[in-house]
Structure 1
Amino acid sequence: MNHPEGAVTDEVPGVAPRLRDLRRDRGLTLETAAGRAGLSPAHLSRLETGRRQPSLPMLLGLARIYGTTVSALLGEVPPERDAIVRGGPLGASEADGWRYRQAGGSGRAMQALRVRVPYGTEGDLVRVHPGEEWLYVLEGRLRVALGETLHDLGPGDSAHFDSLTPHRIASLDRSGAQLLFVHTLLQSSAAELCLGNGIHRL
């Protein structure tokens, strides 16, 4: 299942050449990388040339495939192994309605983000990939689908699951939901498994 291509925006400047360079550095063809990300080669090509801008779910998927972080894809690399990440009003990035702020250091086996999920996000987008995910709802209500089971979470609720479980998330509130999100950064041949029609590999 491919992402909708949407309109070109200027919210994620400079990401196109990094996507192209990372793919080439990993020795992946356009077709192979696109297949792992659940995108068409034409769509990935448009992302790499800046004619389309990736959403945050796309960035998360591409970061996993290339063994890096969303922050690195966006050129927001903090000092290596910095143990402290300061809060504050600056430093948030937005892509396709998702807003996130780095909440953990770089160069680690996990990536931690503070994320705002817009209303109705990922209603039909199912993700499957190696690793683990943990999320904690700070504000609003979130629907988490794990396999065939739906879970409605509120502030203070959390979910921790194997990411090979087909999953999707959506905000139940028109104002969106705020959450802490942690996922493992893994490169694995399991991402190439045929997971069936309608399963989006991220």
Structure 2
Amino acid sequence: MTGENNLGSKIKQLRSNQNLSLEELAERSGLLAAQIEKIEKEAIIPSLSPLIKIARALGVRLGTFLDDTDHLGPVVVRNGKPAEGVRFTSEENGSREHLNFFSLAADKAGRNMEPFIVEIEPSQHSDYKLSTHEGEEFIYVLEGQIEINYGKELYQLNAGDSIYLDSIVMHNVHAATTQKAKVLVVVYTPF
């Protein structure tokens, strides 16, 4: 992955283009200014939930943080050709469990869905932090086993299993074993 795709600098540039201070973006997004500053300086790896809140506060699609160019026609990602990677974490402090997101449509202009291949690295800890954001998610397990905390329920999925869920319900996706898992995820967030 190339510098986590300069996620922090893209957020800072979008904020600057709109003449927003850190405090104004924090107020709009419901996040702390210190958290946004750390994300912009790439001092922490953010989870998906704050990124969605920042995108909505800036009035852009989540995919804007992943885009390098916009392509009007279809976008094809060939087998064996690595998609651009972005590293998010499912932990707010970025210290343990990590999800490596590889966008399958980073160049598609005006998209409403965000398809990713996600590599889920296992964690030795079981105190997973649940998060919530607007939209829906479809998850299909390609390799390994995952667990999904969804509200008060726990779902275990194996290769070939899938789940479609409302992202507004508190949830967390993590490896079910000490082995890495790989999933196809399609995230829809209303704009």
TM-score by length of 1: 0.71
In the other structure, the counterpart of 2:121 is: 118
Residue 137 of structure 2 is aligned to residue 133 of structure 1:
yes
| Superposed CA offset, 1:126-174 (max 9, x none) | 1222211111000111111111000011011111011111111111122
What residue identity is the alignment partner of 2:104?
A
2:8: which partner in 1?
A: 16
Residue in 2 that maps onto 1:6: none
Does the 8 Å contact 1:92/1:99 carry over to 2?
no
Q: Do the aligned residues in 2 keep the contact of 1:82 with 1:106 (CA within 8 Å)?
A: no
- The equivalent of 2:72 in structure 1 is 80
Identical counterparts, % of pairs? 23
CA deviations over 1:36-76 (Å, ceiling 9, x no partner) = 6664211211222x251434536753564243234x32453
Stretches of structure 1 that go unaligned for 5 or more consecutive residues are 1-9, 188-202
Q: CA RMSD in A?
A: 3.0
Q: Quick one: distance in 1 between partners of 2:73 and 2:19?
A: 27
Q: Is 2:183 the partner of 1:179?
A: yes
Aligned ranges 1:36-55 → 2 under 5 Å: 39-48=31-40, 50-55=41-46
- Counterpart contact for 1:114–1:181, Cα < 8 Å: yes
Please name the residue that 1:107 is paired with: 110
Between the aligned partners of 2:27 and 2:146, the Cα distance in structure 1 is 29
Which whole-Å CA distance do the structure 1 matches of 2:74 and 2:114 have between them? 13
1:60-103 per-residue CA deviation (whole Å, 9 max, x = no partner) reads 53564243234x32453352342423232433424254222222
Q: CA deviation at 1:21?
A: 2.5
Equivalents in 2 of 1:53, 1:13: separation in Å? 14
Structure possessing the higher relative contact order (Cα contacts under 8 Å, 6 or more residues apart): 1
Shift in alpha-carbon separation, 1:32–1:126, aligned structure 2, 3 A: farther
- Contact 2:144–2:180 under 8 Å retained in 1: yes
Q: Which residue of 2 aligns with 1:195?
A: none
Q: TM-score, normalised by structure 2?
A: 0.74
Bigger mean CA deviation after superposition, 163-172 or 28-37: 28-37
Q: Give the match for residue 161 of structure 2.
A: 157
User: 8 Å contact 2:136–2:164 — kept in the other structure?
Assistant: yes
Which residues of 2 match residues 87-98 of structure 1 at below 5 A? 87-95=79-87, 97-98=98-99
Most deviating of 167-176 and 16-25: 16-25
Gaps of 5+ in 2: 90-97
Query: Which amino acid in the other structure matches residue 61 of structure 1?
Result: I
Change (3 A) 1:45 1:175: same
Task: Kindly tell me the number of residue pairs found equivalent between the two proteins.
Answer: 176
1:146 maps to 150
CA contact under 8 A between 1:12 and 1:74: conserved in structure 2?
no
Alignment correspondent of 2:62: 69
